[in-house]
Amino acid sequence: MNLKDTFLASLVPIFLGFGFVIAKPGMEYFPPMLLMGMRFVFAASILVWWFPIPRAFLKKIFIASLIANTLQYGLTYTGLSFIDASAAVLLVQTEVPFGVIFAYFMLKEKPTIRSLVGITIAFVGVYVLTGSPSLDGKFAGVALVVIGSGVWALGQVLVKPLSKEINPLALVAWMALFSGPILIALSAIFDGNTINYFKTANFNSWMIAIYLGFIMQPITYGCFYYVLKNNPIYKVLPIVTMGIPLTGLLAAIFLLGEKPTEELFIGGAIIIIGVILIVFTKPKKN
């Protein structure tokens, strides 16, 4: 991978890790589903105009968006609202082992022995991490984040064949257009009057929503798909995957003032070791 692509790939975890963490204070004023709904509506409002309507794939895009965006972000960010961001940013790394599992059952992509060992190690890390005192009595939050990670992996399996038929950034735009309004509607049902949240939110919360939708979403996925177009996925994925926990932890510590416990560091390290074994496994030569 050349220097330009390496630089662009390194921007992805920086923006994603930072965005994941700062979403937590944003949820002090906006409920999780409302904040994510705003994120996708904002992103769709600037992206969707650049691409033609993929009429032949709208049904499949809707189903993929329902799982990969609506359900996943609803679960993950609701879980984040219950637990520290430093713990959540490590737990979401289980997306990688979940992805291998779903790829095997749905795409018949056989994992290597190394990947299977990595999956086992990653889930041992989850068990250790959940022993952190900061997560005591917060099982619901942990469960929502981990389940959300599994749903994300399932969603990517559904998105993969679509990405071969549609411009990847166009796919992001149209999925956001579907999922954003649904998340806002769900928030109105479960959280109450949406207008009241808009009226009472402070300036910082609005800036967080704007960052997530207008800056983070287009830049991260734009960079990711540009680099992915020019390089093998096994070269891109390690940079993106390994950078998110580091960026997220630093942001949680220095911006939110969180103090991760020993169990969190140990469990998180074990999870990352498992993920490294998975993502640094090169595909077999034919």
Owner of token pair 């998975």: 278
What pLDDT is recorded for position 286? Answer: 47
Q: What is the pLDDT of residue 233?
A: 59
Check residue 40 and give its pLDDT. Answer: 95
The CA-based angle 255-259-261, given to 5 degrees, is: 145
Q: At what angle do helices 95-107 and 113-129 cross, to 10 degrees?
A: 140
What averages of pLDDT result for each successive group of 10 residues across the chain (286 residues)? Answer: 82 86 92 95 92 90 92 94 91 85 80 87 90 87 92 82 80 92 95 92 93 87 73 66 83 89 90 84 54
Q: Which of 17, 152, 192 is nearest to 90 (CA)?
A: 17
Look at residue 284 in the predicted model and tell me its pLDDT: 55
State the pLDDT at residue 32. 94
Cα dist from 182 to 1, 78, 137, whole Å: 39, 15, 31
Query: 32-47 and 168-191 helices cross at what angle (nearest 10)?
Result: 150
Q: What is the pLDDT of residue 243?
A: 80
| DSSP H helical ranges for the chain | 3-26, 32-47, 58-65, 72-80, 85-91, 95-107, 113-129, 139-163, 168-191, 194-200, 203-210, 217-230, 233-254, 262-279
SS3 138: coil
* pLDDT at position 283: 52
Give the separation between CA 23 and CA 12, rounded to whole angstroms: 16
pLDDT of residue 111: 80
Q: Which two tokens stand for residue 205?
A: 């919360």
Residue 267: count of CB within 10 angstroms of its CB: 24
Q: What tokens does 215 get?
A: 């800056």
Place of tokens 């105009």: 49
